[in-house]
Amino acid sequence: MTQKRVLVTEKIAEEGLEILRRKGYAVDVRLDMAPEELAAAIAPYDALIVRSQTQVTPELLDAAANLKIIGRAGVTIDNIDVEAASERGVIVCNAPTSNIVSAAEHTMALLLACARRIPQADASMHAGSWERAAFTGTELYQKTLAIFGLGRIGGLVAERARGFGMRLVGHDPYCSPERAAALGVELFESVGDILPIADFITVHLPKTSETIGMFGPSELAAMKDGVVLVNCARGGIFDVDAVADFVAAGKVDAVGLDVYEEEPCHDSPLHEFDNALLTPHIAAVTREAQVRAGTQIAEYVWEGLEGSIVPTAINAAPLPPEVMDAVGPYVPACQMAGRVIGQILGSTPKVLRLEAMGAVADADPAILLAGALDGLLAYRRIGAVSAANALAVADRHGIRVECEAVPEAGEYASAVRVTADGVEVGVTLYGANQAARVVSLLGYKIDIAPAKQTLLFEYVDAPGRIGAIGTILGEAGVNITTMQIGDKPAEQCALVFMNVEGEVPDEVLGRLREAIDLKNLWYITL
């Protein structure tokens, strides 16, 4: 048997390399490779292990003819094109728990350093001074800490801050009330309600279009005078230019940053302020975290190369042949159903129900459930949902899971129906390439393959509606590619599932709502 080869392009713990060598793999460590050098070298490798600097692009993946798995020795996967990897059948996995303790501790370190002015006092001492009054600080005790994002790291910060006697408030639309209560955090639905009461604010959020620039001038103006801000999550969540203005004005007492929009960061508007504590993205840089990241990713890469289910696979995990034959092709369809439901609901559901029908009724539904949950929780790309952890992920988000095998699938050989809090999507597979099709939605019978951008219209059926929709979209330059109409005669309602090319601006959505008496309009992106 040909020896499998693993390429490591960034430094990971020696303990991780040894695990792979003991498994019998040929491990090549080649650091600081230029993109073109990496593309020229990658073809014979079965696995690639990176950290945050190596950019895994579609072009690199095109050159990686033998690649089966990419391991990210850490949490974030911003440097990996997961969609391109999925299209090429390459698994992407990470080590999502490797550095969470280190990141939480660094957050607390910045909170304490800001509150007690430790860096400024240290600099003064090194300059030969002995000043005390200039470095009067504030206690954490009985102060209000606002935590935005109550995932793994946010939860660990809450536990540690509670030990300092802080009052904890938080905002996370995907955190269940039960989890927040267990952490001792008072949940707020509105960001605006938290800002005026927080003495300290820390963010633990993924990098999305909604979170970048989440705290700009208006949010900063609404904060309490003397607030302390900390970000060890993603650069850009705080508008740095605005923060600098508010630091200069004295509104923000101190800010601690470990992450930046562009890294390495050699200059920023905050560099001139001694009450801006800036560290070079070192929250995860501890000996313990590095060892955990290296050993965890080595184990996951080994599992992927041996055909086992990878617990932290970001995209579809490898399945045993018998499972793959039975339900594997339905995993992307269930992910798609979950994404549609998540965007219709706009919040985490309380109940998720999965019905495997027809030919897939007797198969283990765990991987289908994992696909549906992965799509439903697609807003978060830290960690992943797999057959091994699906129930734990559902429990952490306060979702009750129900699965049922249904022997008959109606007019189809097989189908899967996913329902969350009453929002239902039925899917089946079609053609030689087993493409996913939506065959029911919200109780309407349809049959259509979804595109990347879809408009869903629900309205009381009446003449002229489709014409009005087409006119508005045409005037806006939005092309309709395919369309299906489902109806409910008893309710005199219709549902239009319309695939379109390109993004649909909010202004166009507003015109559609004004022009047509709609029950619902959803803009779905997949």
- Asked whether the predicted pLDDT for residue 317 surpasses 60, the reply is no
- Asked whether the predicted pLDDT for residue 403 surpasses 90, the reply is yes
Mean pLDDT of 184-196: 97
Residue-wise pLDDT for 131-179, tens only, equals 999 999 999 999 999 999 998 899 999 999 999 999 999 999 888 888 8
Mean pLDDT of 442-469: 90
- Asked whether the predicted pLDDT for residue 324 surpasses 80, the reply is no
Q: Mean pLDDT: which of 241-245, 300-304, 479-483 is highest?
A: 241-245
pLDDT at residue 108, rounded to an integer:
98
Cβ neighbours of 461 (radius 10 Å): 14
pLDDT at residue 147, rounded to an integer:
98
**Are 472 and 511 a contacting pair, CB within 8 Å?**
yes
Mean pLDDT of 77-99: 87
Superfamily of domain 100-278: NAD(P)-binding Rossmann-like Domain (3.40.50.720)
Residue environment code for 4-35, b if the CB has 16+ CB neighbours within 10 A, otherwise e? bebbbbbebbeebbebbeebebebeeeeebee
CATH topology assigned to domain 1-96+285-315? Rossmann fold (3.40.50)
- Give 370's pLDDT tier (boundaries 50, 70, 90): confident
pLDDT at residue 383, rounded to an integer:
46
Residue extents of the structural domains in the chain: 1-96+285-315, 100-278, 319-441, 451-526
Which residue would you say has higher pLDDT here, 315 or 467? 467
Half-sphere exposure of 117 (CA within 13 A, CB side): 17
Residue 294, both tokens: 């290296």
Question: Using CA atoms, how far apart are residues 278 and 231, in angstroms rounded to an integer?
Answer: 10
| Residues labelled as active-site residues | 234, 263, 281
Q: Mean pLDDT: which of 250-259, 335-344, 478-487, 516-525 is highest?
A: 250-259
Mean pLDDT across the chain? 91
The candidate with the shortest Cα–Cα distance to 277, out of 236, 239, 230, 216, is: 230
**Are 457 and 446 a contacting pair, CB within 8 Å?**
no
**Are 161 and 141 a contacting pair, CB within 8 Å?**
no
Please name the residue that has the structure tokens 């540690």.
160
Cα-to-chain-centroid distance, residue 226? 32
The residues that bridge with 455 in the sheet, in sequence order, are 498, 523
pLDDT at residue 128, rounded to an integer:
97
Residue-wise pLDDT for 203-217, tens only, equals 999 888 889 999 999
The candidate with the shortest Cα–Cα distance to 1, out of 297, 304, 321, 306, is: 306
Of the chain, the percentage scoring pLDDT greater than 70 comes to 95
Weakest-pLDDT range from 92-106, 127-141, 272-286, 370-384: 370-384
pLDDT at residue 226, rounded to an integer:
98
Which residue would you say has higher pLDDT here, 277 or 208? 277
Architecture of the domain spanning 451-526: 2-Layer Sandwich (3.30)
Of the chain, the percentage scoring pLDDT greater than 90 comes to 68
Q: What CATH number was assigned to the domain covering residues 319-441? A: 3.30.1330.90
Mean pLDDT of 445-467: 90
Residue 361, both tokens: 């009724």
Question: Using CA atoms, how far apart are residues 327 and 311, in angstroms rounded to an integer?
Answer: 18
Question: Using CA atoms, how far apart are residues 356 and 363, in angstroms rounded to an integer?
Answer: 8
Question: Using CA atoms, how far apart are residues 428 and 447, in angstroms rounded to an integer?
Answer: 9
Is omega for the bond preceding 320 within 30 degrees of 0, making it cis?
Answer: no
Residue 238, both tokens: 């705080």
Which residue would you say has higher pLDDT here, 163 or 397? 163
pLDDT at residue 346, rounded to an integer:
87
pLDDT at residue 281, rounded to an integer:
95
pLDDT at residue 326, rounded to an integer:
63
pLDDT at residue 75, rounded to an integer:
84
What's the sign of the alpha-carbon dihedral 183, 188, 189, 192?
A: negative
Q: CATH topology of 319-441 equal to that of 451-526?
A: no
DSSP codes joined into one string, 425-494:
EEEEEETTTTEEEEEEETTEEEEE---SEEEEEEEE--TTHHHHHHHHHHHTTPEEEEEEEEEETTTTEE
The residues that bridge with 27 in the sheet, in sequence order, are 6
- Asked whether the predicted pLDDT for residue 92 surpasses 70, the reply is yes
Q: Mean pLDDT: which of 320-334, 366-380, 415-429, 432-446 is highest?
A: 415-429
Cβ-Cβ contacts under 8 Å for 108 (sequence gap 6 or more): 157, 160, 161
Question: Using CA atoms, how far apart are residues 276 and 263, in angstroms rounded to an integer?
Answer: 17
- Give 1's pLDDT tier (boundaries 50, 70, 90): low
Residue environment code for 304-326, b if the CB has 16+ CB neighbours within 10 A, otherwise e? bbeeebbbbbbbbbbbeeebeeb
**Are 202 and 259 a contacting pair, CB within 8 Å?**
no
- Asked whether the predicted pLDDT for residue 266 surpasses 70, the reply is yes
